Structure 1
Amino acid sequence: MSSAAPRTAEPDRLWSVDEHLDDILATVRPLEPIELNLLDAQGCVLVEDITAPVSLPPFDNSSMDGYAVRVADVAGASERYPASLEVVGDVAAGAADPVHVGPGQAARIMTGAPLPPGAETVVPVEWTDGGLGQGPAAGMRARSLAPDGATGQVGVHRPAPARAHVRAQGGDVRAGDRVLEAGTVLGPSQISLLAAVGRGTVRVRPRPRVVVLSTGSELVQPDEELRPGRIYDSNSFALTAAARDAGAIAYRVGAVADDAETLRDTIEDQLVRADLMVTSGGVSVGAYDVVKEALSHAGDEDEPGSGVEFRRLAMQPGKPQGFGSIGPDHTPLLALPGNPVSAYVSFELFVRPAIRTLMGLEDVHRPRVRAELTAEKALTSPKGRRQFLRGRYADGTVTPVGGAGSHLVAALARANALIVVPEDVEDVAPGTEVEVVLLG
């Protein structure tokens, strides 16, 4: 959670992108670790090194259906002169007390079954006369006809070197090995490894719970009738999806009308399930900037150290921003602009790093690369503003997608990168090397 309220904003101050981000990351703290069952821990970050208590595999076992034999007994085997061995029994996967294989003997063995005592190698069933196109079932019939308690014979027509088709004990992991390090994000393969070494629970930082809501009386939910003057609410969907993509458990509240009291009540109701709250819209200087109206003085008296401050940033898009903490637990809240592109760019720059910080990750930022700008004409950027333009990155080049308007959602859907134009640059010519933030 947060440890303190952000720095007090100075009237009319223009904050840099880096100052605002540093303030957020200095305030947000990683969530406390908890013990979770394996499947509940997927997507979480380990807070402990994991040492294997057992070896993998835990015993020598067969990688084929076939026969466990001694090397010397099949050394000269061929199609013309097969080695004839006495079959003394079966070894199935999970067998706890396998038969012993002596000179001139063989044991039928299944994939994953332990190599029986005395056996040195495994010959696949296809190398025997008992399994050509039939599998071990042919040997089963021979056993039923064998006299005096024997289990029949098998002819082996190819030699096998020592430990052929044998998975060695500890060949993957040895008992005592460190198999996962603290800081690892648990995906399917890591969950598999934990289960394989016998861990049913693991200590992790939980995935942050992020509550997303958008504001605006003009917003209509998808599938509803779009009356004159209304628009569909896309921000709450985009930001919820982005939060999930960042690793959070995200809850979409939807649109709240332009009423400060309603917004305050909604936020208060949602605090119980929030490690982080994100709003969009209502942070500028208009008559209906409800988020600013509702939260500018939140917690001043009853919740010392909390409060949300609204700032102007030297960036485009996304100049108006809000950040602070609310409620008795000082839950962090980031208030983003309402234009779809502004909201999404702001999420990538500020909210995503906050989510990754709550998760306990060391690297919280999207990767950045240098790329050659390919464009029909020079890019222009307002002086003193850091501009983030949508782009399409591939093979060391980046091409602008759509215009600079913060409402161009279709262009955003085609972009996989943000082109960064620094504050002191007003024109960027085609062929110039630029900084690129890679998305996804």
Structure 2
Amino acid sequence: MAQLSEDTFAFGGPLMSIEQATALAAERIQPVAATERVALAQADGRVLSQDVVAGLDLPPFANSAVDGYAVRFADLSDGETRLRLQGRVPAGADAAGVVADGVAVRVFTGAPMPPGADTVFMQEDVSLEGDVVRLPPGLKQGANARPVGEDIARGEIALAAGRRLRPQDLALLAALGQDSVEVRRRPRVAIFSTGDELAEPGAALPPAAIYDANRAALRAMVARAGAEIVDLGILRDEPVALAERLKEAATSCDLILTSGGVSTGEEDHVKAAVEGAGALVFWRIGIKPGRPVAMGVVSGVPFIGLPGNPVAVFVTFAFVARPVIARLAGARYVPPLPLPVRLGFPYRKKQGRREYVRVSLSPGPDGVMVATKHPRDGAGVMTSLTQTDGLVELAEELTRIEAGAMAPFLGYDLLIA
């Protein structure tokens, strides 16, 4: 388990930016140390625990990039060249006995280059007259030929430690002959919702109760972030029981993640429970929707308390919890790159907070994507997430932005990938 001191996150002062908050976590949280070796078929989404060094050149032999005719560039003239056709090398064949010395050799994509050959003419660019190949002028030396190690050379770092593996990475590992890879153990993230008003989906709904939506979202987002889920269910507003469950979770998990109960109301008991089991320091983050977000330590294990409203849970997980999980996983976290869109609405906001506005996109008459604000923007309006495409990000210093202005847009797929 990740072990921290109780004053690890101590902070006071003005509102923190998202970058300050995540940097503070990155400085103080260490990745999960345990590693394991997994088969390539199970490695998608896992985080490399060590550099992968290429054990062979890729490609391991010079080969043709096209179907055509391999020649020595030295045999070509300034005008049209005519060479006798001699030899044929398909993919997978041994070309050792086929020498391209003053002749053209028929080759196919992926076939090894005949000894001496360094250039390949595409078959559609040449003509045949019996056993003579007519080659047009103007082709550069080395054209359509893949040299040994063109992709990566033996001994080079193919993939660096901390990389979260993607399908294209698995293809590279397979091409290098690896059928397994050393990765970090997935972080174990304990999830629970708090509140006497919550009911489990599928159960009868008591009067004045609502179904717990936050845990369903958090389970999915935690899994997409590459962590293992420990679902602790719904915890009632009982400070002593909450403290005990938090301590219990800390014995087997690397991060404790809750939603609800971290504000300062009389019925918000998570704050007291965390303080009873460890230490809680509120991160006064300048983010909307999102306040309050809390972070602390329970028996040496990091704790993040997200707000209770579903939209705020989604936004704060994406920008606060997700980087923490990446850190625990040993992954290099790179914030999602926003794309510029044109606003189809004016907007006012308070200075000092970064706001995320739910929008839908549609192409404008000039081809630039136009963002349309969802008509209902309350932090409890879940359809504002299901009926939109992503978030427009409005910087802290802004107080007003006019319709027609350009603004950064983050699609939901980027935030939960």
Structure 2, unpaired ranges of 5+: 362-367
Pick the aligned partner of 1:353 from 280, 303, 323. 323
Is residue 417 from structure 1 mapped to residue 391 from structure 2 by the alignment? Answer: yes
The residue matched to 1:356 in structure 2 has which SS?
A: helix
1:229 alignment partner in structure 2:
208
Indicate the structure (1 or 2) with the bigger Cα radius of gyration.
1
**Matched residue type, 1:114:** P
Q: How does the TM-score come out when normalised to structure 2? A: 0.71
2:16 alignment partner in structure 1:
17
Pick the aligned partner of 2:353 from 386, 391, 396. 386
Shift of 1:235: 0.9
Alignment of 1:335-354 (within 5 A): 335-354=305-324
Pick the aligned partner of 1:320 from 292, 295, 299. 292
2:133 alignment partner in structure 1:
158
Is residue 407 from structure 1 mapped to residue 385 from structure 2 by the alignment? Answer: no
Is residue 186 from structure 1 mapped to residue 165 from structure 2 by the alignment? Answer: yes
The residue matched to 2:311 in structure 1 has which SS?
A: helix
Shift of 1:392: 2.7
Check 1:418–1:345 CA distance in 2 against 1; reply closer, same or farther (3 A cut). farther
Question: Aligned partners of 1:231 and 1:204: how far apart in 2?
Answer: 40
Shift of 1:298: 0.1
Question: Aligned partners of 1:33 and 1:159: how far apart in 2?
Answer: 63
Shift of 1:316: 4.4
Shift of 1:297: 0.8
Alignment of 1:203-214 (within 5 A): 205-214=184-193
CA offsets, 1:85-114, max 9 Å, x none? 6x7xx8665456854459899988665343
Shift of 1:60: 2.7
Check 1:63–1:352 CA distance in 2 against 1; reply closer, same or farther (3 A cut). closer
Check 1:97–1:250 CA distance in 2 against 1; reply closer, same or farther (3 A cut). same
Is residue 295 from structure 1 mapped to residue 270 from structure 2 by the alignment? Answer: no
Alignment of 1:79-158 (within 5 A): 93-95=91-93, 99-100=97-98, 111-117=109-115, 156=131, 158=133
2:195 alignment partner in structure 1:
216
Whether contact under 8 Å (1:67, 1:124) holds in the other structure is: yes
Structure 1, unpaired ranges of 5+: 78-82, 130-153, 300-306
Pick the aligned partner of 2:54 from 52, 55, 71. 52
**Matched residue type, 1:28:** I
1:134 alignment partner in structure 2:
none
Shift of 1:334: 0.3
Q: How does the TM-score come out when normalised to structure 1? A: 0.68
Identity of aligned residues (%): 32
2:364 alignment partner in structure 1:
none
**Matched residue type, 2:233:** A
CA offsets, 1:280-300, max 9 Å, x none? 01223445434334322104x
Question: Aligned partners of 1:166 and 1:216: how far apart in 2?
Answer: 66
CA offsets, 1:26-65, max 9 Å, x none? 4323333746444554334556555434222212334567
**Matched residue type, 2:15:** S
Shift of 1:236: 1.4
Question: Aligned partners of 1:66 and 1:8: how far apart in 2?
Answer: 65
Check 1:109–1:290 CA distance in 2 against 1; reply closer, same or farther (3 A cut). same
Shift of 1:340: 1.0
Whether contact under 8 Å (2:360, 2:374) holds in the other structure is: no
Whether contact under 8 Å (2:290, 2:313) holds in the other structure is: yes
The residue matched to 1:237 in structure 2 has which SS?
A: helix
Check 1:67–1:412 CA distance in 2 against 1; reply closer, same or farther (3 A cut). closer
Question: Aligned partners of 2:151 and 2:9: how far apart in 1?
Answer: 55
